[in-house]
């Protein structure tokens, strides 16, 4: 089959959940099928990554996004390519779903999060995502990554065939290699820092994490010395506001390569996710993959993960998170999640290809 992928800014080593999923999944699919991924040139130039052909478009920001041009290019290229399947890697990339239906035999949309709930989007952006969601009724299938998102689709009257295909864990060996230079640059030592990962946006709510860590330190019950936040700015001013609030014990490491994030996860005392909005968080899954002690907010999408009750805290409550940080600091092993209930990427690829093949065999 010829499969065209739209919605990931690029692969490999590009920040973002859609990008991480694409980096891990499509090289496995490319072992069996012809896969082309449409990228943004500033993130990935024309080329080939582990069997995935990359076709790039220039970066043009419009309405707070850099993806509209690549969506339009995907329509034009697909009209020429005539792929068997267009795979939309996120809700936003379904904006031109009806046109993709003209260009390809089948259209599959990965529904990774309800993006219109994100605070960073203005009225037009939210309407665009709402329109994309409305169009899902015309997709041949929708991949949902978490049961909470499946319930949301059903509540919104979307009756298209939906398949629950979660994100997956990475191999534990990928996190075993420390990065001494990176650690030294930020004054870090092994097991002596809390780690938060993600673009610094309102929905990640790093403000709660910063306040919780500061409170945990003030109690005298938390020997962990630093909080490290890894992630770039989204241009909303959230990062600058956070930097003005944080003290010297908070390290803003900026956007790092995925290999560097893995190295930090492997050395952290605790990974903390304070998000108020997620799909199925790849950052959480990477922490579980690394064997890092973990605490996460109790939003429905996080609650879908097979974690113990003590791995959760009440969303937005920095007192509750401070207590969890103190508890974890006293017994790190208790907060290490069990890997066994989670999927791996081979299984995710197998489920995805089975969906493609069932759609391909369906009569027109």
Query: Do 140 and 229 lie in a common domain?
Result: no
pLDDT single digits (tens) 317-358: 999 999 999 999 999 999 999 999 999 999 999 999 999 999
* CA dist list (Å): 71 to 37, 55, 144: 11, 12, 21
Statement to judge: residues 184 and 115 lie in one domain: no
- Comparing 131-135, 199-203, 214-218, 252-256, the range with the smallest average pLDDT is 131-135
Would you state the pLDDT for residue 99? 92
Pair (209, 107) in one structural domain: no
Q: Looking at residue 52, what is its pLDDT? A: 98
Chain centroid offset of residue 332 CA: 25
Reply yes or no on whether the pLDDT at 129 is more than 90. no
Residues 153 and 211 in one domain: no
Residues 275, 182: one domain?
yes
Share of the chain above pLDDT 70, in %: 94
Instruction: Examine the domain organization and report whether 156 and 198 are in the same domain.
Output: no
Q: Domain with 115 in it: what CATH number? A: 3.40.50.2000
- Averaged pLDDT of the chain: 90
Do 351 and 285 share a domain, yes or no?
no
How many domains are there within the chain? Answer: 2
Q: Domain range holding 140?
A: 2-168+344-361
Model pLDDT for residues 266-315, shown as the tens digit of each residue: 999 999 999 998 888 999 999 999 999 999 999 999 999 999 999 999 99
Does residue 199 sit in the same domain as residue 250? yes
Domain identity same for 184 and 228: yes
> 252 and 129 in one domain?
no
Task: Give the predicted TM-score (pTM) of the model.
Answer: 0.86
Same domain as 157, residue 180: no
pLDDT for 73 equals: 86
Residue 279: its pLDDT value, please? 80
Q: What's the pLDDT tens digit per position in 161-191?
A: 899 999 999 988 888 778 889 999 999 999 9
Assess whether 178 and 309 both reside in one domain: yes
């Amino acid at each position: 089959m010829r499969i065209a992928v739209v919605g990931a800014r690029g692969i490999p080593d590009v920040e973002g959940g859609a990008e991480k999923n694409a980096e891990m999944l499509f090289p496995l699919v490319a072992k069996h099928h012809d896969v082309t991924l449409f990228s943004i040139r500033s993130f990935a130039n024309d080329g080939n990554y582990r069997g995935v052909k990359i076709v790039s478009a220039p970066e043009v920001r419009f309405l707070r996004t850099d993806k509209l041009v690549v969506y339009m290019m995907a329509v034009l290229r697909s009209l020429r390519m005539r792929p068997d399947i267009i795979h939309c890697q996120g809700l936003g990339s379904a904006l031109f779903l009806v046109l993709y239906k003209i260009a390809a035999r089948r259209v599959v949309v990965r529904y990774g999060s309800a993006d219109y709930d994100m605070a960073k989007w203005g009225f037009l952006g939210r309407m665009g995502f709402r329109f994309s969601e409305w169009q899902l009724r015309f997709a041949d299938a929708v991949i949902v990554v978490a049961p909470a998102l499946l319930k949301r689709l059903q509540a919104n009257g979307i009756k298209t065939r939906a398949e629950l295909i979660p994100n997956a864990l990475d191999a534990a060996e990928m996190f075993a290699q420390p990065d001494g230079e990176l650690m030294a640059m930020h004054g870090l030592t092994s097991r002596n820092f809390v780690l938060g990962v993600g673009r610094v946006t309102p929905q990640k709510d790093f403000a709660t994490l910063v306040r919780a860590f500061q409170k945990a330190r003030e109690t005298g019950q938390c020997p962990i010395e630093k909080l490290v936040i890894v992630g770039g700015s989204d241009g909303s001013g959230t990062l600058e506001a956070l930097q003005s609030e944080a003290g010297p014990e908070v390290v803003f490491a900026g956007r790092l390569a995925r290999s560097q994030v893995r190295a930090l996860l492997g050395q952290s005392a605790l990974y903390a996710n304070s998000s108020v909005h997620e799909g199925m968080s790849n950052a959480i899954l990477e922490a579980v993959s690394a064997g890092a002690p973990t605490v996460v907010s109790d939003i429905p999408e996080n609650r879908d993960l097979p974690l113990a009750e003590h791995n959760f805290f009440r969303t937005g409550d920095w007192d509750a998170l401070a207590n969890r940080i103190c508890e974890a600091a006293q017994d790190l092993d208790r907060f290490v999640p069990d890997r066994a209930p989670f999927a791996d990427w081979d299984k995710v690829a197998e489920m995805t290809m089975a969906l493609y093949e069932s759609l391909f065999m369906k009569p027109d």
